[in-house]
């Protein structure tokens, strides 16, 4: 094994060097093509500016990328579920296929939907993707109204979302229980070098609706989390991934927490989050305010990728120490036809203490950057 392992490591290293060299050459050609394109438009660079509500939730036509992201925990009389429903909107000029800007093939922004459902009772996880590249789509810039052939989202004081696909039919009404939260400085931050974002959250949404699995219908209720982010896209970025947590606690407080990843791994320099107290007051968390440790790991039978699979989080200034535990181990999105980069995103439970009292809650966790496969690296060099 030792004799085989060393040459394989060297071969992988040489492959990565070759990919890096090709990537740099591709980017130079891509940038030159864009520079000479007389029909090129100026994309929004996501610099700090005042965005009034609710217009801040609306799509912006020249935004490189933005998304409307819902996760939640639902229950019926018989069953418990977790779900993810996320619309992404991409501007083609911000994307590339090798040396070719996607705007050479398509001018208008397009939507992509990710939907995933976790059946907590049966330990099952399924997901699908829809795309405006292959389906009719709706994007309203004067309001929040987005749609694809099988999925729809709108906002008028409350959110309404629906999807009808091979996994399930889900229709939800989502009523905000808090004010809209602006993370960082009035919603704006440069989270990583040249990665600017505008980030809003409704951390607690009362959720009611109907879920249909096959011929069986469930009236479901529960609590959901909503994020909206607008972001620039940097090619050949040093940002390689992140661990992201949303936590909804039983004492009517909430927490968003993240750790960003460079090519060497997770970095404590780029760690932070937002704590929201019972009155909606925001406390920004900075490096040094929080400590998080992995307590377990899970290796995917689909991709052989090793992911963290349990965490202990300690925040001294809040007197909080909690464990975050996946409801189902296998919540990996790995289908090459849907996502070229495999990642883990799933429903978790929370238990621990806060200021000396026991506390419980619910969480969703997203883990990106653990896919180190050569095929993934090659694909990223083609589009990143």
Q: What is the pLDDT of residue 137?
A: 97
320-326 and 343-354 beta bridge pairing:
antiparallel
Q: What is the pLDDT of residue 380?
A: 63
Q: What is the pLDDT of residue 29?
A: 52
Say yes or no to pLDDT of 88 above 50: yes
CA 355 distance to own-chain centroid: 30
Q: Judge whether 75 and 54 are in contact, CB under 8 Å.
A: no
The residue with tokens 């992988």 is: 12
The residue with tokens 């750790």 is: 259
pLDDT in tens, 346-382: 999 999 999 999 999 999 999 999 988 877 776 665 5
pLDDT band at 30 (very low <50, low <70, confident <90, very high): very low
Residue 294 and residue 323: Cα distance in Å, rounded? Answer: 10
Residue 256 and residue 275: Cα distance in Å, rounded? Answer: 7
Residue 95 and residue 308: Cα distance in Å, rounded? Answer: 30
Token readout for 148 is 């694809």
Global pTM value: 0.89
Say yes or no to pLDDT of 43 above 90: no
Least confident of 104-108, 230-234, 360-364, 365-369: 230-234
Q: At what angle do helices 374-383 and 2-36 cross, to 10 degrees?
A: 10
Token readout for 236 is 């050949």
Token readout for 136 is 């009719």
Q: Which helix (H) or strand (E) holds 17?
A: helix 2-36
Residue 144 and residue 155: Cα distance in Å, rounded? Answer: 6
pLDDT in tens, 140-151: 999 999 999 999
pLDDT band at 28 (very low <50, low <70, confident <90, very high): low
Token readout for 21 is 């060299």
Domains, the chain, ranges and CATH? 37-235 (2.40.370.10), 238-370 (2.40.370.10)
Q: Which residue has the higher pLDDT, 269 or 90?
A: 90
pLDDT band at 184 (very low <50, low <70, confident <90, very high): confident
Q: Judge whether 306 and 332 are in contact, CB under 8 Å.
A: no
The residue with tokens 């975050």 is: 324
């Amino acid at each position: 094994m030792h004799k085989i392992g060393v040459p394989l490591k060297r071969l992988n290293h040489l492959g990565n060097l070759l990919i890096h060299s090709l990537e740099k050459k591709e980017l130079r050609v891509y940038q030159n093509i864009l520079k000479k394109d007389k029909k090129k438009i100026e994309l929004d660079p996501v610099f700090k500016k005042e965005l009034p509500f609710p217009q801040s939730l609306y799509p912006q036509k020249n935004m490189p990328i933005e998304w409307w992201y819902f996760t939640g925990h639902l229950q019926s009389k018989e069953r418990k579920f977790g779900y993810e429903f996320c619309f992404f909107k991409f501007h083609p000029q911000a994307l590339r296929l090798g040396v070719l800007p996607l705007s050479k093939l398509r001018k208008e922004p397009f939507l992509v939907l990710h939907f995933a459902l976790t059946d907590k009772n049966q330990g099952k996880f399924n997901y699908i993707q829809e795309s405006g590249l292959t389906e009719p789509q709706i994007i309203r810039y004067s309001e929040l109204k987005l749609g694809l052939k099988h999925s729809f989202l709108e906002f008028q004081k409350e959110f309404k979302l629906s999807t009808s696909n091979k996994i399930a039919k889900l229709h939800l009404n989502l009523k905000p229980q808090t004010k809209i939260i602006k993370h960082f400085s009035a919603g704006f931050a440069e989270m990583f070098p040249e990665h600017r974002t505008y980030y809003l959250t409704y951390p607690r949404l009362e959720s009611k609706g109907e879920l249909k699995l096959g011929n069986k219908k469930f009236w479901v209720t529960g609590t959901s989390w909503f994020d909206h982010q607008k972001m620039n896209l940097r090619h050949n970025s040093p940002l390689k991934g992140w661990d992201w947590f949303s936590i909804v606690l039983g004492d009517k407080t909430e927490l968003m927490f993240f750790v960003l990843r460079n090519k060497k791994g997770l970095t404590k320099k780029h760690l932070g989050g937002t704590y929201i107290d019972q009155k909606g007051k925001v406390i920004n968390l900075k490096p040094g305010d929080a400590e998080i440790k992995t307590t377990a790991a899970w290796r995917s039978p689909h991709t052989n990728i090793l992911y963290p699979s349990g965490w202990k989080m300690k925040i001294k200034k809040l007197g909080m120490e909690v464990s975050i535990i996946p409801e189902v181990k296998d919540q990996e999105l790995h289908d090459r036809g849907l996502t070229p980069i495999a990642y883990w995103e799933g429903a978790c439970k929370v238990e621990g203490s806060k200021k000396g009292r026991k506390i419980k809650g619910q969480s969703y966790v997203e883990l990106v950057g653990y896919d180190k496969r050569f095929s993934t690296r090659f694909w990223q060099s083609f589009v990143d």
